[in-house]
Amino acid sequence: MKYEKEITVIIPTYNKYPQNLLTLYSLTHQTFDLTKVEVIMVDDGSTDETESITKLHNFPFEFNYMKCRTNIGRPAARNKGLKMAKGKVIIFLDAEILVRPDFLTIHHQYHAETTNLVVSGIMFLKRLYSVLFPDFSEEQLEECMRLMIRNRTLYKKLESFNTQPHILPLIEKSDIENDSFQKLSLPSKVEVFYKEIIVKNYGYGLSNYQIPWQLFGTGHVSVSKKALDEVGLFEVYPGYGWDDCEMGYRLYKNGATYLTDRRLISYHQEHPIAPTIKNESKQNYYLFQEKYKEVDQMIISLTFLPVPFNLHQTNQILVNYKRLCKEHPKSFPIMKKYFQSMLRKIGFLASKSMNITNLKPTPTNMTELHQLELEKERLKELNIYMTFLQCFKRLENL
């Protein structure tokens, strides 16, 4: 296949103006040759001023704007962008993510050196208050105002906001050009978590991390167009969540390797959060789970428990379980069957917002129950699969 561009950046957007314009500004100040770049913004039925971007602004890259008549959802919007993409490398970027000047260069260099690669940027995501919204949560309002009080110019804006609450931009193009926007940025819990749990244990190359597909966050991730063509388009789930991880899982099963880079710092522009997101995400996870029903994928449900395993613990359980399956492919059939059943039930209960309890399957007969106890005793005697065994016992006791 002949590619007309080196890079395509796909940005779905829904009522994110002026944050999406600020994201585009951050893409105009790149060290990479922007004549080799196209940016596709898929407007998913916005009712704000997003469409004015095409009329009032020019960019040094090829900018293609696609307007959807109705809101079709982020995965469907990304699919529209993918169908018209002309780049060798596809970068998915959320409409409210600001990136640093070496963003395109870093992504492109990795793909030039390695085929069938996924480069994840979601692990070093900071929070940024670029716009003050009247419908922020109380916590967001307080945090944003604390940052504004430190700056005399912003403090004057705060006075006008308090007099009559309205959508109030706090940064502009010049703040992106000179990096002064960072005065309104903060570390994120996600960034701290990933550094402590993933980078600390697996490095930036994610060595022996066997659930890297959960890092396929379309807020900031890149993959070759060829790899995407091989696995197909995004699953179109209703509402929010897991369509990106499902794509990541397909790529992983197709042989993709994953890595990240400490230089890929980006800034999520804070915005009001819809209260339905958590429930939608759990429901979509269940759709993802039921498509595959594979331990490699369902293992992530261990992070849903009332006292969850973290991602490092979850990965170690999977590593131990896969070793068991490799070294004893025909042994421990009851434990393997029960483990898969309990993982699957976690996903079901989570999707229904039900208490995650009574996971252990009911034995079909006393012989099966006796066999299960014998398998657990034998596994304990082997003393090399204790990570899996301890997880198994915890699940059956919930």
Residues 6 or more apart from 178 whose CB is under 8 A from it? none
Query: Going from the N-terminus, what domains does the chain have, and what CATH number goes with each?
Result: 5-127+186-274 (3.90.550.10), 131-170 (no CATH), 293-396 (no CATH)
pLDDT tens-digit map of 208-227: 999 999 999 999 999 999 99
Nearest to 25 by CA among 123, 121, 97: 97
pLDDT (0 to 100) of residue 240:
84
pLDDT (0 to 100) of residue 314:
98
pLDDT tens-digit map of 125-174: 999 999 999 999 999 999 998 998 888 888 888 888 888 888 899 999 99
Choice among 105-114, 180-189, 208-217, 305-314 with the minimum mean pLDDT: 180-189
Q: Write down the pTM of the prediction.
A: 0.94
Count, residues in the chain: 398
Residues 6 or more apart from 19 whose CB is under 8 A from it? 95, 96, 130, 131, 269, 271
For residue 275, pLDDT over 70 is answered with no
Q: Between helices 152-163 and 138-149, what is the axis angle to 10°?
A: 140
pLDDT tens-digit map of 54-91: 999 999 999 999 999 999 999 999 999 999 999 999 99
Cis preceding-peptide flag for 363 (omega within 30 of 0): no
pLDDT (0 to 100) of residue 91:
98
For residue 331, pLDDT over 70 is answered with yes
Q: How far apart are CA 15 and CA 17, in angstroms?
A: 6
Judge contact between 11 and 23, C-beta under 8 A. Answer: yes
